[in-house]
Structure 1
Amino acid sequence: MPYCFRELRVIKKGVYIFLMLFFFISSAFMLQAQDKQLADEYVRQQEQAKKAAIMRELDSGVYYMDNGDYKKADGIFRHVLATVKSVPSDLTYYFGKNSFHLTLYKQSIDWLNKYIQLKGTNGQFSQEAIQWKTLAEAEFLKEKSKQAEKVQEVLSMDYDIDCGPSGKVVCPACKGDHVIIHRGAFGNEYKTCPYCNDQGILTCEEYNLLIRGKLQAKNSNR
């Protein structure tokens, strides 16, 4: 067989081997990518199923609260708080309202405040939250002089609050004005809010640090 034909056969064989290796490597990468997609989809479905289960449990707590079984509702709400990583904003309202019926007025004020801070006047339960908070504040003032024994209160500073899809909330320190006003005997003193941005907004992470008293000032007062 002429040399050129033998060389051509060697080249063809090399090309064939290269193509086969390329095919196997490509197939391996494709299978790996598919496995990752399947794994990601499984995790996503599991998270959705967990969230759906939590929402069903929350709905059951609302059912018991609406039917006057406040202790049962309290147990369910506390279990949801212990389960979730980030507290749904609606739960801050439900837990605050139910706490009022259990005469846990400080706890009620705390959680209703969180709902009002997150939703302002446009939330689904904003008006009700303001009304229940007003009632709780009145009862709390009466109670301060009684020194009544209470069960351990669950305060919102122990949890990360979900600020909603925007991930932002109006700064409660300056009410979104980016300016804090100190009223003194010689007139008002105006200082730049040391926590929020120029629009008076906090990120959700900053908000949760602020309610714990752990948010560091990021600008100097002027």
Structure 2
Amino acid sequence: MKKWFFIIFINLLSLNLFAQNKTDSLITVYLQEAKILISRNNFIEAERTIKKVFDTKSVLPDETVYLYGITQFGVGNYKGSITAMEKYLSLTGKKGEFYTEAQQYIKDAHCHESGYYEAVELCDMCFGSGDEEAPCPNCRGKGKILCTVCKGSGVNRESKSYGDSFHKCSKCEGSGFGNCGQCKGKGIVHIACISCQGSGKIKVRKKCNK
């Protein structure tokens, strides 16, 4: 019984592998066909071909989304092209084979759609550092706070049987103040830049060149 079960399992596994290999081969053929159609500026047929790839409901190569973005640009669906290219960039990051090309398509699609495109530049408020100086909230920018031992009096009182004795506070040496622990006595702290939220970069809208 175990022997027959094993044979059936192996046969089913072989059938699944065969079906998967057949699907992978079909995807390769479709993508190659789409590339040829794109090179001929036949974007409508290329779009239909890529949709056949999507219909396989298999794990697809990353370039599938990129090629689909090209077809959307070619047929004038600029929003669709932007969505596809942004999806490609989110999947592959800067290491993607078509990273530069995808960014250019996004820029061009924005230009065709609105006459403007988004560019990423260094933040002009923090000069790309991502942070900015602000008065320390703990000491209000003074760099000093009341001594935590003598509470600002500069002296310590010691009660004894014959009365109280007073002597200079050993922590602040009689000044009544000490360095602020939050800013280390500098009076300023570094906080995330409010303009770029600490990234050092901002998105700006630029007019496209005609």
Question: Number of matched residues?
Answer: 125
- Structure 1 residues 97 and 183, CA, compared in 2 at 3 Å: closer, same or farther? farther
Give CA-to-partner distance per residue, 1:133-191, whole Å, 9 cap, x none. Answer: 11111112149xxxxxxxxxxxxxxxxxxxxxxxxxxxxxxxxxxxxxx9758x9589x
Distance 1:85 1:42 in 2: 16
Distance 2:96 2:198 in 1: 32
- Which residue, out of 9, 19, 23, partners 1:36? 9
Tell which has more relative contact order, 1 or 2 (C-alpha 8 A, sep 6+): 2
- Which residue, out of 77, 84, 87, partners 2:57? 84
- Which residue, out of 122, 125, 132, partners 2:98? 125
**Partner in structure 2 of residue 61 of structure 1:** 34
- Structure 1 residues 189 and 125, CA, compared in 2 at 3 Å: closer, same or farther? closer
Deviation at 1:70, TM superposition (A): 1.0
- Structure 1 residues 188 and 122, CA, compared in 2 at 3 Å: closer, same or farther? closer
- Which residue, out of 63, 73, 88, partners 1:100? 73
Deviation at 1:122, TM superposition (A): 1.0
**Partner in structure 2 of residue 137 of structure 1:** 110
Deviation at 1:125, TM superposition (A): 1.0
- Which residue, out of 66, 86, 105, partners 1:113? 86
- Structure 1 residues 133 and 189, CA, compared in 2 at 3 Å: closer, same or farther? closer
Distance 1:46 1:115 in 2: 27
- Identical-pair percentage: 19
Larger radius of gyration: 2
TM-score normalized by structure 2?
A: 0.53
Unmatched tracts of structure 1, length 5 or more = 1-27, 144-181, 191-222
Distance 2:107 2:2 in 1: 62
8 Å Cα contact 2:23-2:56 kept in structure 1: no
Unmatched tracts of structure 2, length 5 or more = 117-191, 200-210
When structure 1 is superposed on structure 2, of 124-133 and 74-83 the one drifting more is 74-83
Query: How is 1:1-222 mapped onto 2 (pairs within 5 angstroms)?
Result: 28-142=1-115, 184=194, 188=197
Q: Secondary structure at the match of 2:2?
A: helix
Q: Secondary structure at the match of 1:121?
A: helix
Q: Which has the higher strand share?
A: 2
Give CA-to-partner distance per residue, 1:86-143, whole Å, 9 cap, x none. Answer: 4432111001112111111000000000111111111111111111111111112149
8 Å Cα contact 2:34-2:47 kept in structure 1: yes
Root-mean-square deviation (Å): 2.6
- Structure 1 residues 37 and 89, CA, compared in 2 at 3 Å: closer, same or farther? same
- Structure 1 residues 183 and 87, CA, compared in 2 at 3 Å: closer, same or farther? farther
